[in-house]
Chain A
Amino acid sequence: MKTTTMGISRFFLLVLSSLFISSVFAQKKGETEVVEEWNNTTSKTFYGISVYTDIAGPITSMFKDGKTDFSFGVDADICHTIYPTFEAGYSKYDATESYNYGLTQLPGYSYTCNGSYYKIGVNFNFLNDGRGNKVIPLLYIGAKFAFSPSHFDIENVRFHNEYWNVDKGYSVSGKSLCRWAEFAVGLRYPIAKFFCMGVEGKLREFGSAKTKTIDMSDGVSLDVKQSYSPGFGNFNGSKWGVKYTIGYFFH
């Protein structure tokens, strides 16, 4: 009986010892990996490239008739602090129903605008904790220069003056170039492995569009101001915007 008890005790002692030894070795191996990763990552200048797409634009497009918008972006991670960024997108806007200045529309009135847009700038991250991770959460501010070469079509816009019995429709189309600056505050967080989700509030300012002068067939020359620009939105509306991104970090 005594021999049996001692045998069981030795067995447990052996198991516990092996567990302890294996855990010690495992811990040492883990620390080594961490140190290696630390050395590999903290000494780097270039960590990788993020590719992302805006998911707010397509979702908005689903709920708003006449609006299509999608964009992609890429940025480079320099020292987990500086992120040079480039974005490109395409947008189409049908503002036909927006024409409501107390006048009924002429039959066949429409206003559409479509084109690509490009943004180039840089973001600065404030959440660089210097812990040697390959991908880290970002809390950033940034500035971008943006421009959009676009095409507009205005069909049968009403030209009206009741005092002179003037009531007619004009149709004009052409190309336009809009430029603006964009300031952003954003967050990006790794959600699984190297997949990241982000949210960004952006303020678009200093928007300008070339006014195009078109000579009409009846001798009137019409200055067409751009009403909408892809990537900027409606010049008549809010200049704040939010985008939600999902992307992948290539390291």
Chain B
Amino acid sequence: MMRKTYDMVSRRVVGALASIALLLSLTMCETDFCNENMYVVGTLRAFHKQSKSQIDVFLATMDANGDTIMYVDRTSGSYANFSLNPESDTSRFYVLSADTVTLGKIAIVHTNRSEFVNAECGVRTLSTIDTVLIEDATKGDSVAILMKDVDENYDNGNIEIFFAGFE
């Protein structure tokens, strides 16, 4: 009697749990989407040296001949974004005002580390800033590197640049 009851109960328990497992397995699909942040950009702010007031700027990448390659979109309020050259240890940029007037030129010296993230995401390049040079000395005054890592963690405020040539 005890044996029969035990068998009956255990069969029901096994049946119920197996059904739950089957339902669960149907919902457990592996995702084919990229879950990593592949948009790696640094951020910069520009200020007047004397008044300390902020200047709205954005950057444009510059090739070896000094020609503009592409404007870098602003994505966050008062910060200008920049993307570092994955094939070189130096990235040159035009610093432009909101009405696309050139305020200065900067060169960022950096070290790169490229990584294959996974099959869904592909390759991204992370960088560490070593130095920032103001190429137009008549306008630029000084630079501060606040955060050296340009990585997948979008941190506001990698670089602050101060212009003295105009107010």
A contact residues vs B (CB 8 Å cutoff): 56, 95-101, 103, 111, 127, 129, 131, 137, 139, 154, 157-166, 170, 172, 187, 189, 199-201, 211, 218, 220-225, 227-228, 233-238, 240-242
Q: Does B85 contact A127, Cβ atoms closer than 8 Å? A: no
**Bound complex: CA of A131 vs CA of B3, how far in Å?**
9
Distance in angstroms between the alpha carbons of A162 and B34 in the assembled complex: 19
Asked if B8 is at the interface of the complex by the 8 Å CB criterion, the answer is no
Contact A187 B18 (CB under 8 A): yes
| B83 at interface by CB-CB < 8 Å | yes
Chain B residues, Cβ within 8 Å of A161? 83, 85-86, 125
Residues of B within 8 A of A237 (CB): 29-32
Tell me the smallest distance from the CB of B78 to a CB of chain A, in Å. Answer: 21
Tell yes or no: B98 within 8 A of A by CB: no
Cα distance A235–B39 in the bound complex, in angstroms = 20
> Chain A contacts of B4 at CB under 8 A?
none
- B52 on the interface (CB 8 Å rule)? no
Q: Is the CB of B112 within 8 A of A99?
A: no
In the bound complex, do residue A163 and residue B83 qualify as a contact, i.e. CB atoms below 8 Å apart?
yes
Neighbour of B115 across the interface among A129, A189, A222, CB < 8 A? A222
Other than the given A187-B18, A223-B115, A242-B28, 8 more pairs (CB < 8 A) read A131-B3, A157-B116, A163-B72, A163-B83, A201-B21, A222-B115, A224-B116, A236-B30
Q: CA separation between A200 and B28, bound complex, in Å?
A: 14
Once bound together, how far apart are the Cα atoms of A159 and B117, in whole Å?
Answer: 12
Interchain CB contact under 8 A, B114 and A220: yes
* Least CB distance, B93 to chain A, in whole angstroms: 10
Residues of B within 8 A of A162 (CB): 70
A236 surroundings in chain B (CB, below 8 A):
30-31, 33-36, 118-121
Q: How far is the CB of A29 from chain B (nearest CB, A)?
A: 19
Residues in B whose Cβ lies below 8 Å from that of A211 = 115
List 21 A-B residue pairs with CB atoms under 8 Å apart, sorted by A's residue number: A96-B119, A99-B120, A100-B32, A100-B34, A103-B122, A111-B119, A139-B17, A161-B85, A164-B87, A187-B14, A199-B17, A199-B18, A211-B115, A218-B87, A222-B114, A222-B115, A227-B116, A227-B117, A238-B30, A242-B21, A242-B22
Contacts of B11 in A (CB 8 A): 189
With contact pairs A101-B38, A227-B118, A236-B35 given, residues A221 and B113 touching in the complex (Cβ less than 8 Å):
yes
- Min CB distance, B139 to chain A, in Å? 23
Assess whether A220 is in contact with B112, with CB atoms less than 8 Å apart: yes
Interface string of B91-110 (1 = CB under 8 A from A): 10000000000000000000
Known contacts A137-B14, A201-B24, A222-B115: A166-B123 contact under CB 8 Å:
no
- Bound CA–CA A66/B70 (angstroms): 40
Bound state CA distance, A199 and B24, in angstroms?
Answer: 12
Q: Flag whether B13 is at the interface (Cβ < 8 A).
A: yes
- Tell which of B24, B25, B72, B85 has the most Cβ of chain A within 10 Å: B25
Q: Are B10 and A137 in contact (CB under 8 A)?
A: yes
Contacts of A220 in B (CB 8 A): 86-87, 112, 114
B61 neighbours in A (Cβ, 8 Å): 163-164
